[in-house]
Every structure is written in structure tokens, then in C-alpha cells.
Amino acid sequence: MLPRFWRKIRYRYNLIGTECTNCGKKFYPPRNLCPECRRKSRIAEVELGETGTVVSFTVIHDSSESYKLQKPYVVALIKLDSGPSVISQIVCNPDDIEIGTRVRAIFRKYGEDGEEGIIYYGTKFEPVI
């Protein structure tokens, strides 16, 4: 969990994805190989912006203990205005979200590892009011 998390931390903190400059498709999570162009892929980092729209969402009551998340919490599939989609928590009351809600990225605590007390941060979203 730990090395895996830090390895991609730059992408988690900033919503940076990659773009294939050969075909223009953007990817989040970042890919080093474009599934359309494969050998002709030309990959560069790209900022994906902070805003998007909720495609679907759920309120999770029962989930893995390993991330020490406070339940219940809202998780959504968000289509970013820049193109790619992202799975993220939404910081809001479950009644304040529906399919189509506009959301904006924020930087928040995700959870902590019990014994060492290491706190994980990452991108979450909140409704745009």
C-alpha cells in the first residue's frame, strides 16, 4: 500500500493525467501507452482541470477496513470537463448530490495507517454551489 501510494502521488494530489499527442486522447489514471495508437503513442503529461459532472454515485455503508474510511461516505464517477473520468469521494451530504451535479476538486485527507499514524492525502470533490 505505502510504496504504491507514493509512487503516483503527484497524480493523486494534482489531477494530472497523460495525453497522447498523436491522437489527442487524454487519460486518467495516467497511461504510458495509448490503447488506440500503441506503438505510435506520444505521451505527455497534462493538467486535467478541477471541474466535472457526476455520471453516477453511491453511498458506501460497508467497505474495506484497510483504508480506515469513515462510513457512510459518497463515491462518484465524475466526467471531467477536460475529457477523462475519475472515481473519487465527494465531500457532501448524500442528499446534496445527484446524477448531473457539478463538482470541483479539492485537496483532502483520505485516511491514516493505524500504527505508524501516516496520513494519506489526495483529491476529493465537492459540489459547486
Partner 1 sequence: MRRVAVIGVGISRFGELWDMSFRDIVISAGTEAIEDANLEGREIEAMYVGNMSGGRFISQEHISALIADYSGLASINVPSVRVEAGDASGGVALKEAYISVASGIHDIVIAAGAEKVTDVGSASEIMDSTIDQEWEAFPGASLAGLYAMMARLHMHEYGSTEEDLAGISVKNHKNAVKNPKAQFRREIKVQDVLSSPYTAEPLKMLDTAPISDGASVLILAGEDVAGKYTDTPVFIDAIIQSSDFIALQSRENILEMKAVKTAVRKALRMSRCELNDVDVFELHDSFTITELLLYENIGLCRHGEGHMLVREGETEIDGRYPANPSGGLKACGHAVGATGIRQAGEIVLQLRGDASGRQVQAERGMAVNIGGTGATAVVSIFRR
80: closest CA among 106, 108, 54, 56?
Answer: 54
Least Å from the CB of residue 117 to partner 1: 19
| Cβ-based nearer residue to Zn ion, 15 or 20 | 20
> What's the alpha-carbon Rg for the chain, to the nearest Å?
16
Q: How many CB atoms lie within 10 A of CB 55?
A: 12
List interacting residues with partner 1 (CB under 8 A): 4-5, 8, 12, 27-29, 55-67, 69, 73, 75-77, 84-89, 94, 99, 110, 122, 124
Cα 71 from Cα 46, distance rounded (Å): 33
Which is nearer to partner 1, 56 or 128 (by Cβ)? 56
Q: What, of Zn ion, partner 1, none, does residue 34 touch, CB below 5 to 8 Å by kind?
A: Zn ion
Alpha-helix residue ranges (DSSP H) falling in 8-109:
9-14
Partner from partner 1, Zn ion, none binding residue 22, C-beta < 5-8 Å depending on class: Zn ion
